[in-house]
Amino acid sequence: MQYTVSNIKLPFDAGSDAVVNEAEQRLRRAGIDTREMSLCISKRSIDARNKDSILQVCSVTALSYEQQVKADPNRLKKFGITVTDSTNPSEKSIAKTECCAQHLKAPPLVVGMGPAGLFCALMLAENGYDPILIERGDCVKERVASVNNFYHTLSLDVESNIQFGEGGAGTFSDGKLVTRIHDPLCSYVLHKLCEAGAPEDILVNAKPHVGTDLLRSVVTALSQRIREHGGRTVYRCRLDGIKENADGTLTAKTTQGDIVCGAIVLATGHSARDTYVMLRDSGYQLIPKPFSMGVRIEHLQEDIDRALFGKYAGHPALGKGEYNLSDTRTERGVYTFCMCPGGEIVAATSESGSVVVNGMSNRARDGKNANCAVCVSVGGEDVKAYMQSLGKYNDPVSAAITFQRMTESRAFIAGGSDYSAPIQLVGSFLGTSSGNEPVRIRPTYMGGDHVKCTSLDSVLPPFITASLKYGISSFDRKIKGFAASDAVLSAVESRTTAPLRIVRDDNLCAVGHDKVYPCGEGAGYAGGITSAAVDGIRCAAEIIRRFRACGADPNA
């Protein structure tokens, strides 16, 4: 039996023993014998709304071998205690399902090694399906080398970069695992990440993160586990086409030759624009979906800490200050995204002649600056109206891709056409001051050596800059100093999520294509590492439900 004691509020610097002792006292007051129990903190967050009395808010899980609840339910409720069975999340979330009689005539193919593809292939491999996992980019080690080479030589590898390669775009990020979905599979994903070497505090912290430096080794371990269970990984292998064969198999056309497979999972990520075009031209149904576009803003981390924690800023028990802000009072919502405490801004383009920015931080979050995306929600009608005003609207798929590319190209030109990022100080952007040269806050994009001061009004569409100006001013009322005149804006943040959705049916298959499974963020069904991994697991589970592995068929 498992008891969860929730909403334990203690001073932020109270130790773990004090938290567990408080939980034990509540259990006893509820009439529960704790002598044979194992207690541990299962969730921890910081409540800094009152800067003079910052609290930690915790939940504690208590495991008991007793199978019957003897306490009065009213007393349990009074002391914030809930009771569940003690099934391990891995066992509870991934229930074995009875396979139907169909057999795959060839191994399943998973396209893309981001979180959706990795977790899909991992589940298939652990259940004996021997998946083939292909990735257009390199393995982590070679991918890091490609990124470093770009930084030093400005020679972009369009197949292996911050967007493409083993681990997906999230490998060069903060490794945030926060998600808005409430799915028991989220716990399963976190446990699997810990098995692969992620720190165990991701199981407890309300805002878990791994850090890009540690995440790289975690991704490598997940790929190795897939291979150990019969899977095969192929790098530098881009999907260029899909053929549906008369015998029920599929043929994937790739840069390393044809691959015959029994099913295909499309976990290609949000930046595989060539894949979108290929699918549209092959008769797959794609529709525009909301996405966002904006800039990265940089502050000094110590300023953010002071604004959030007051006199307690810098206390080791609080860690680095982080925030999540939004304002939806206007026609288009404005929000912060992927806040990276103590991080840096990275060059995240995957196409020549374009500039894209993103944020990254290591596990220690020990950089001088904090950065985050400030983005404006963009709908399909926004794209259509804007592209029509330019006389460049063709169809929804082309328009979404062209809209992003056009803005990224403008950023490239505004930065000097050498992959430097165009930057502008907040005061100059808002019109509250005239200076535009960074002094106190130094930009971190590509080490700070490749930036150019300019006006971001020449880069972003007017409806986005207007919303950004409103949003930055709004956020300053929530966090003092957010709109500091010397905060640095870098453009363009355009790859927050996919602008298109590959439509799928109730069986998670692409409409009209019975054995092709659009999956994850690139397919329009997730938004971040954890939710993408969950969608990958669900696609794998659907394949397992429908088919037996090809090796299980004596006639295969």
Q: pLDDT tens digits for 426-477?
A: 999 999 998 999 999 999 999 998 999 999 999 999 999 999 999 999 999 9
Residue 56 exposure: Cα atoms within 13 Å on the Cβ side: 25
Does residue 253 lie in a domain region? yes
Q: Long-range contact list for 473-481, CB < 8 A, 24+ apart?
A: 473/430, 474/327, 474/329, 474/334, 475/325, 475/327, 475/336, 475/374, 478/325, 479/304, 479/307, 479/308, 479/323, 479/325, 480/307, 481/299, 481/303, 481/304, 481/307
**Are 283 and 403 part of one and the same domain?**
no
Provide the mean pLDDT of the chain: 94
Percent above pLDDT 70 for the chain: 95
CB 85 within 8 A of CB 2: yes
Helix (H, G, I), strand (E, B) or coil at 139: coil
Query: Which of 467, 493, 519 is the last residue before a domain boundary?
Result: 493
Is 96 among the domain residues?
A: no
Residue 97 falls within a domain, yes or no?
no
d(CA 313, CA 13): 13
- Three-state DSSP class for 274? helix
Looking at the fold, whether 546 and 402 belong to one and the same domain comes out as no
* Residue range 73-78: mean pLDDT, rounded: 90
Residue 100 falls within a domain, yes or no?
A: no
pLDDT in tens, 13-22: 999 999 999 9
Q: Are residues 546 and 413 in the same domain?
A: no
Q: Which of 493, 515, 530 is the last residue of a domain?
A: 493
Q: Is the pLDDT of residue 85 over 80?
A: no
pLDDT tens-digit readout, 342-359: 999 999 999 999 999 999
pLDDT confidence of residue 69: 56
Higher pLDDT, 49 or 553: 49
Q: What whole-number distance in Å separates Cα of residue 237 and Cα of residue 239? A: 7
- Which pLDDT score is estimated for 91? 45
Residue 92 domain flag? no
When pLDDT is cut at 50, 70 and 90, the band that residue 102 belongs to is confident
Question: 498, 524 in Cβ contact below 8 A?
Answer: yes
Q: How confident is the model at residue 35 (pLDDT cuts 50, 70, 90)?
A: confident
Lowest mean pLDDT among 9-23, 43-57, 67-81, 341-355: 67-81
Measured at the CA of 252, the angle between CA 118 and CA 266, to 5 degrees, comes to: 35
pLDDT score at 93: 47
Domain-embedded: residue 104: no
Amino acid at 443: P
Q: What pLDDT is attached to residue 86? A: 57
User: 439 and 311 share a domain?
Assistant: yes
CA distance 485 to 428: 7
Please, which pLDDT band fits residue 183 given cuts at 50, 70 and 90?
confident
Contact 209, 193 (CB under 8 A): no
CATH assignment at residue 10? 3.30.70.2700
**Choice among 73-82, 161-170, 415-424, 493-502 with the minimum mean pLDDT:** 73-82
Does some domain include residue 98?
no
Q: Which residues pair with 10 in a beta bridge?
A: 56
**Percent residues over pLDDT 90 in the chain:** 88
Identify whether residues 167 and 315 lie together within a single domain.
Answer: no
Burial class (CB in 10 A: 0-12, 13-18, 19+), 511: middle
176/96: higher pLDDT: 176
**Residue 500 pLDDT exceeds 60:** yes
Residue 88: partners with Cβ closer than 8 Å, 6 or more residues away: none
Q: Give the number of domains in the chain.
A: 3
Instruction: Please write down the HEC assignment for all residues of 194-227.
Output: HHCCCCHHHHCECCCECCHHHHHHHHHHHHHHHH
- Same-domain pairing of 301 and 267: no
Which segment of 273-282, 332-341, 480-489, 542-551 scores lowest on mean pLDDT?
542-551
For residue 44, give the nearest of 203, 209, 214, 210 by alpha carbon.
Answer: 203
**Domain that includes residue 206, residue range:** 109-288+500-552
On whether both 77 and 118 belong to a single domain, the answer is no
Task: Name beta bridge partners: 283.
Answer: none
101, pLDDT greater than 80: no
- The identity of residue 401, as a single letter, is I
Confidence of residue 27 (pLDDT cuts 50, 70, 90): very high
Q: Which of 85-89, 178-182, 328-332, 403-407 has the highest mean pLDDT?
A: 403-407
Residue 67 scores a pLDDT above 70? no
| Beta-strand pair 334-340/326-327 | antiparallel
What is the distance, to the nearest Å, from the Cα of residue 289 to the centroid of all Cα atoms in its chain? 17
Q: Which residues contact 555 (CB under 8 A, 6 or more apart)?
A: none
State residue 99's pLDDT score: 52
Q: Are residues 511 and 487 in the same domain?
A: no
Q: Are both 243 and 192 inside the same structural domain?
A: yes
- The verdict on 187 and 117 lying in the same domain is yes
Residues 540 and 417 in one domain: no
- Residue range 39-47: average pLDDT? 95
In this structure, the answer to whether residues 329 and 409 fall within a common structural domain is yes
What average pLDDT does range 154-160 have in this prediction?
A: 97
Cα-based distances in Å from 29 to 195, 300, 546: 36, 47, 50
Q: Which two tokens stand for residue 446?
A: 């590509």
Mean pLDDT, residues 326-334 taken together: 93
Question: Pick from 469, 493, 517: which residue ends a domain?
Answer: 493
Tell me how many degrees the CA angle 238-240-241 measures, rounded to the nearest 5.
135
Give the model confidence (pLDDT) of 422-438 as tens digits.
999 999 999 999 899 99
Q: What is the DSSP letter of 509?
A: P
> pTM score, two decimals?
0.94
**Any domain includes 99:** no
Alpha-carbon dihedral of residues 12, 13, 19, 25, nearest 10 degrees? Answer: -90
For residue 556, what pLDDT is reported? 46
pLDDT at 92: 47
Confidence of residue 366 (pLDDT cuts 50, 70, 90): very high
Position 482 pLDDT exceeds 60: yes
Asked whether residue 502 carries a pLDDT value surpassing 90, the answer given is yes
Q: What CATH number did the domain enclosing 163 receive? A: 3.50.50.60
Mean pLDDT across 20-28: 95
Residue type, 408: E
Average pLDDT over residues 255-273: 97
Tell me: pLDDT of 89 over 50: no
